[in-house]
Structure 1
Amino acid sequence: MKIGCKLLISITMTIFLSLGLTACNSSDINNRNNTDSNSKEITETATTQSNNTTTSQTNVANSNQETHSTADKHQLTNPNGVALIPAMVTNVIDGDTLDVKINGKTERVRLVLVDTPETKHPNKPVQPFGPEASELTKNTLLGKQVGLEKDISERDRYGRILAYVWVDGKMHNEALIEKGLGRVAVFPPDTKYVDEFREKQRQAQEKAIGIWSIENYVQENGFQSSSSSAPAASKQSNTTTASQPSQSQPVASAPSANTLSNTGTHRPFQNDPSDDVERNTSCAGKIKGNTNSKIYHVPGGAYYDKTVDNITWFCSEAEAQAAGYRKSKR
């Protein structure tokens, strides 16, 4: 009887222990499942946030790139990539002076490195080829959107903006010289395109077009008011200060850079013997060349004795022609 009771108790305890172990194993499995589920959710959340951050950064980068691209499209430049100031031409004063609007403000612009004959000077008559220069500027620029390129100086002493004017990929300053409607007028330090301009001027001289078709018309300090041999005073001839160069006093208007005569006055021309520079004097008394106009004169010619400035002598006409000079028509 005692043995039976002990066996029953043993069996009962075994059953309880088995049930307890089963419950513990089930709890551990559930805990592990919950942990794995939570870890998965955390990983998925982090991945989603990372993707969102990357997408946001990509969108910002694309937006910045589009902004820069749009800005580049609107940036006005010349054919060499130099940035230009956008302006609208509202009025043409003469061949080398015009009015423009920049950001709604009207400004007067003086073309750099070029001087055209007068048409509206208060003390001078209309000069030959002045109307043609004005007409070219008007037809080319008036009412057009242009680009202004500055050199070193911002403005001249009269408050005018100093600029090279670009339209349709071409520079108008250079076009005036190329067509013989303006001369090279140098005002340091604004000399960026002086070599190109002088080459265009040389070509116009060789063709004897425009201002170069009139004997002794172009002088180093301006243009003659008539076809006589007396040169006119330079444009707006006021004293130039060293700190603010004026667009009225060129250092040189042609390839030669000799001292100017009668600079800075409106009086009739009076020859200054001190600047009567003569070159190649071994041929003196023969063929007389004018280094400014690139015209040579033979003895007995109408302008042989009147040509007194910037002289270079040649021993023969062939020698003068070889040096790029052309014969005077009178």
Structure 2
Amino acid sequence: MTHLPELRIGIVGAGLMGRGHAEVLAAHPQTEITAVARRPLDHAPGARVFPGYQELLDSGTVDAVSITTPDHLHADVMVAAARAGVHILVEKPFTTTVADADRAVAAIRSAGVVAMCLFNHRWVPAYAQAKEQMRAVGEPVVGYARKDDTIYVPTEMLDWADRTTCAWFLSSHDIDLMTWLYDDEVVEVFATARYGKLRGRGIDTPDAMQIQARFGRGAVATFESAWIYPNTFPTMVDSYVTVAGESGVIQLDRQKENIQLATEDGYTYPRNMLQRVVHGVPAGAYRDAIHHFVDCAITGTEPLISVESSRHVTAVLEAAHESARTGRPVKL
């Protein structure tokens, strides 16, 4: 019997996303979680616990690292991992400054390691099908992507919401998705941000942002993000995408995902496209994206999502925040 090659993985970041990565990676037949940074994870009971990411990388116990730290802390870990010759899976956004993105890309390409930012929406079946149908839609003309969260996310789920924004946390997914669907890059943005409700609760971050983007071939798109929906909303995330081309239109509404649930506590639409467990096994786009990275790391194949395209998402968002601050359009 041929022994399947194993990828030894370390997880840096033991919060919500770290637990999600661990659950998926622990169920993969060709991976072993050998190390975690700072504190243990339930799905990695046999992993060594290191006080920090540098000690983990220096230990020689990992072939790849999964980075699930808060948004603004990704870059240093990526650079250190690349210099250690370790493959890299990093949660979105890639980084929160272009300078950080550039040094991460340079380190990754210099080391020749496999690296991917986990823009998992490319594995949502409807979005992947939309990519295949873009030829029928024709040359893109205008698009709209909305991703809004309930107020639970910045007030309870994240303890670092004041160090990011709804656009970094939410629109990063949609910017990656739209540039992929358009097969084009953003060249100019104009953005606005609204502050108020969250500041009133002691969290210094925008309630909402809206980004108007112009692409290289002339198409335009709007990216909306907010995270002040009431917690009574039937899903934690309200997600909708539409693309109109010269020959047709595609609409993607993830508000309802096949199941509706009514209990004495409320009426909900449980989400199942990204993360679900089927007969005890993790499934969904989130799992498929992580498994794609594992396959690429084992075979040395370039992932579907390049670090350069992820750097572009960072550049769009950095420009958008500059535009929101100055009230002027910003060219990339």
For the criterion TM > 0.5, the same-fold answer is no
TM-score range, shorter chain: under 0.3
Q: Which has the higher contact order (CA 8 A, sep 6+)?
A: 2
Bigger radius of gyration? 1
Q: TM-score, normalised by structure 1?
A: 0.28
